[in-house]
Amino acid sequence: MKDDSSIAQIAAMLREEIAARQPGDRLPSSRELMRRHGVSPVTVSRAIGQLAAEGRVITKPGSGAFVAPRPTPLREVPDLSWQTVALGDRVIDDSGVTALLTAPPEDVIPLTGGYLNAAMRPDRQLSAAASRAVKRLDAWAAPPLTGVAELRGWFARQAGGEVTAADALIVSGGQAALSHAFRALAAPGTTMLMETPTYPGAMAAAKAAGLRTAAVPMDADGVLPDLLAEAFAVTGARVFYCQPTLHNPTGATLTGERREQVLQVARAHNAFVIEDDYARYLTDRAPTPMVALDRYGTVVHVSSLTKILAPSLRLAAVIARGPAAQRLRAGQLVESFFVARPLQETALEFVSSPAWPRHLAAVHTELATRRAALLAALAALLPDAEPHLLPRGGKHVWVRLPPHVDEAALVEEARRNGVQVSPGRIYYPAEPPGPRLRLTHSAAVHVAELTEGVRRLADAYARLS
Ligand SMILES: Cc1ncc(COP(=O)(O)O)c(C=O)c1O
């Protein structure tokens, strides 16, 4: 006998025998087992293989099989409940950011995520830049505390206007920049204004900084300056966080006229504008940053490299002037000293090399192709999902669904059907106006997968209708 049942029988008998013996004891030889049970050598070796895979037996070629050491029994789970009392109820809510950073399982197509697909990332050129950077003699020394001077100069030139390298502070990514800026500019318990909808990571950072938030509505041209003025007046807020270019999630870009109006409104209320310019490099049609229009230190500008290069290139610049800049620098020093020099030198190597303009051009072309493919697939397969606007770049399309649609049920059904989409709900600080989805086109492997993702979403939608 050498079928599966006979292997299982021999294995079961040997398990009993092992239980009765001590670790290190030799088991009967294969020949002996064959004789005892009237089975073939293959059956015996498969049964012993199974026990070895279970960790019960150790085989030593030429010597035979031995009883394996018993696993050490699990120690009693320590009682950590005292920590709950010691920590109090100051919960940090990471649900918004965790949802953004969690990749779906292999067989689920991602129409979510905030970074470039691996195929679009310049990984080889980044590695080459990193190896050039670490070969520098001073690569592991402390950098100037506000950041490597040439990198600060590069960010300042990108921002334009009158800002200089001295106004730029290098921090570890856009999210850290927002946390620093919120903590530096607004005291716990005070109110910060934000567009609605907005980036969940900003809402989470504001909450973690102990801030209240108040939402200011927007349309396809960005935030509404009249309502911004009203919100400043009603709340007494001194900070407005916004994303004037390729706003996440709607894709809106604030018009030139409204940029001036927003600055006037903020100045009239002696308030700061935190300009999160996270998507500047995801389009070849980015308007002049607001910081370049500002002569009064109103704008605190945040510019990150992760979105255009790689999530682990955790570098961003915060550009500010006056006492606000001083407070930001002090905050960064107290919290984390400075950003690792090799990372700063790597970014500098990359953006100073011919790889940078080449990469920008390649990404702009690919994003335009993907955006067109996503919109075409939606029009053909899911016409009920109405795009809010045609974004001039970026990675997302924001769609409105008919009011009767159960957004949460659709997201869940879509996931069961093999596609992950972002529910609109997570982008609203308060009640959403209706069902929405954010659909990302930069995370799928290629256009065919993107289209298949929309087909799966349309199937899920049809099933719920
Ligand atoms: C609008 C916006 N700002 C900032 C960030 C933070 O990005 P990072 O910390 O990778 O620079 C994100 C990431 O999704 C974002 O969408």
Q: Is 384 exposed, middle or buried (0-12, 13-18, 19+ CB in 10 A)?
A: middle
Where is mean pLDDT largest: 14-18, 87-91, 180-184? 180-184
Statement to judge: residues 290 and 192 lie in one domain: yes
**Please, which pLDDT band fits residue 1 given cuts at 50, 70 and 90?**
very low
194, 198, 414, 442 from 299: Cα distances, Å: 14, 19, 41, 30
Statement to judge: residues 303 and 157 lie in one domain: yes
Q: What percent of the chain has pLDDT over 70?
A: 99
Res 336: pLDDT:
95
Res 75: pLDDT:
78
Using a 6 Å cutoff on CB, does residue 249 contact ligand 1? no
Beta-carbon contacts of 260 under 8 Å, excluding residues fewer than 6 positions away, are 293
Structure tokens at 279: 């998507």
Burial readout 417-431 (b: 16 or more C-beta within 10 A, e: otherwise): bbbbbbbbbbbbbee
- What single DSSP character describes residue 277? -
Statement to judge: residues 109 and 37 lie in one domain: no
**Residue 213 covered by a domain:** yes
* Dihedral sign from CA coordinates of 290, 292, 297, 303: positive
Statement to judge: residues 425 and 411 lie in one domain: yes
**Please, which pLDDT band fits residue 62 given cuts at 50, 70 and 90?**
confident
Statement to judge: residues 265 and 385 lie in one domain: no
- Rounded CA separation 301/278 (Å): 10
Res 89: pLDDT:
86
Q: How far is the CA of 429 from the centre of ligand 1 (A)?
A: 17
Statement to judge: residues 233 and 105 lie in one domain: no
Q: Which ligand 1 atom is nearest residue 198's CA?
A: 1
pLDDT for 383 beyond 90: yes
Q: Which ligand 1 atom is nearest residue 174's CA?
A: 11
Ligand 1 site-directed mutation target among 98, 116, 175, most atoms within 8 Å of CB: 175
Using a 6 Å cutoff on CB, does residue 179 contact ligand 1? no
pLDDT for 139 beyond 60: yes
**Please, which pLDDT band fits residue 157 given cuts at 50, 70 and 90?**
very high
Res 443: pLDDT:
95
- Rounded CA separation 464/321 (Å): 53
Neighbours of 364 (CB within 10 A): 17
Domain total of the chain: 3
- What single DSSP character describes residue 26? B
Q: Name the packing angle between helices 355-381 and 123-134 (round to 10°).
A: 150
**Please, which pLDDT band fits residue 146 given cuts at 50, 70 and 90?**
very high
Statement to judge: residues 332 and 453 lie in one domain: no
Using a 6 Å cutoff on CB, does residue 316 contact ligand 1? yes
Statement to judge: residues 180 and 199 lie in one domain: yes
pLDDT digits (tens, 9 = 90+) for 28-54: 998 999 998 899 999 999 999 999 998
- Which amino acid residue places its CA nearest to atom 14 of ligand 1? 114
Average pLDDT, the chain: 95
**Residue 95 parent element (H or E):** helix 95-101
- Which CATH number is 395's domain given? 3.90.1150.10
DSSP 97-154: HHHHHPPPPTTSEEE--SS--GGGS-HHHHHHHHHHHHTSTTTTSPPPTT--HHHHHH
* Dihedral sign from CA coordinates of 18, 24, 28, 30: positive
| Residues of the domain holding 52 | 4-67
- Rounded CA separation 67/134 (Å): 51
- Which CATH number is 12's domain given? 1.10.10.10
**Residue 394 covered by a domain:** yes
Ligand 1 site-directed mutation target among 278, 315, 426, most atoms within 8 Å of CB: 278
pLDDT for 4 beyond 80: no
Question: 423 pairs with which residues across the strands?
Answer: 437
**Residue 428 covered by a domain:** yes
Statement to judge: residues 264 and 394 lie in one domain: no
Counts of helices then strands in the chain (DSSP H, E): 16, 15
Question: Do the Cβ atoms of 291 and 262 come closer than 8 Å?
Answer: no
Residue 123: phi and psi, rounded to 5, are -55, -45
Using a 6 Å cutoff on CB, does residue 243 contact ligand 1? yes
pLDDT for 2 beyond 70: no
Q: Is 353 exposed, middle or buried (0-12, 13-18, 19+ CB in 10 A)?
A: middle
Using a 6 Å cutoff on CB, does residue 175 contact ligand 1? yes
**Residue 81 covered by a domain:** no
**Please, which pLDDT band fits residue 462 given cuts at 50, 70 and 90?**
very high
**Residue 89 covered by a domain:** no
Using a 6 Å cutoff on CB, does residue 174 contact ligand 1? yes
Statement to judge: residues 403 and 338 lie in one domain: no
Res 43: pLDDT:
92
Give me the mean pLDDT over the 205-211 stretch.
96
**Please, which pLDDT band fits residue 230 given cuts at 50, 70 and 90?**
very high
Res 335: pLDDT:
94
pLDDT digits (tens, 9 = 90+) for 231-246: 999 999 999 999 999 9
pLDDT for 405 beyond 90: yes
Q: How far is the CA of 154 from the centre of ligand 1 (A)?
A: 20
* Domain end (from 352, 383, 415): 352
- Rounded CA separation 334/395 (Å): 35
Structure tokens at 98: 């965790």
pLDDT digits (tens, 9 = 90+) for 71-85: 777 778 889 999 999
Res 91: pLDDT:
85
Statement to judge: residues 348 and 228 lie in one domain: yes
Statement to judge: residues 285 and 239 lie in one domain: yes
Helix (H, G, I), strand (E, B) or coil at 220: coil
Q: Which ligand 1 atom is nearest residue 305's CA?
A: 11
Using a 6 Å cutoff on CB, does residue 248 contact ligand 1? yes
**Residue 128 covered by a domain:** no
Structure tokens at 103: 């990749």
* Domain end (from 315, 332, 352): 352
Neighbours of 150 (CB within 10 A): 13
Q: How far is the CA of 278 from the centre of ligand 1 (A)?
A: 6
pLDDT digits (tens, 9 = 90+) for 255-303: 999 999 999 999 999 999 999 999 999 999 999 999 999 999 999 999 9
Q: How far is the CA of 41 from the centre of ligand 1 (A)?
A: 61
**Residue 453 covered by a domain:** yes
Q: What is the largest CA-CA distance in the chain?
A: 97
- Which CATH number is 250's domain given? 3.40.640.10
Question: 276 pairs with which residues across the strands?
Answer: 302
Res 3: pLDDT:
65
Structure tokens at 75: 């120690």
Res 61: pLDDT:
85
**Residue 182 covered by a domain:** yes
- Which amino acid residue places its CA nearest to atom 4 of ligand 1? 174
Structure tokens at 411: 């997201």
Using a 6 Å cutoff on CB, does residue 304 contact ligand 1? yes
Structure tokens at 393: 């770049």
Comparing 21-25, 184-188, 235-239, 261-265, the range with the smallest average pLDDT is 21-25
pLDDT digits (tens, 9 = 90+) for 416-453: 999 999 999 999 988 999 999 999 999 999 999 999 99
Using a 6 Å cutoff on CB, does residue 435 contact ligand 1? no
* Domain end (from 324, 352, 380): 352
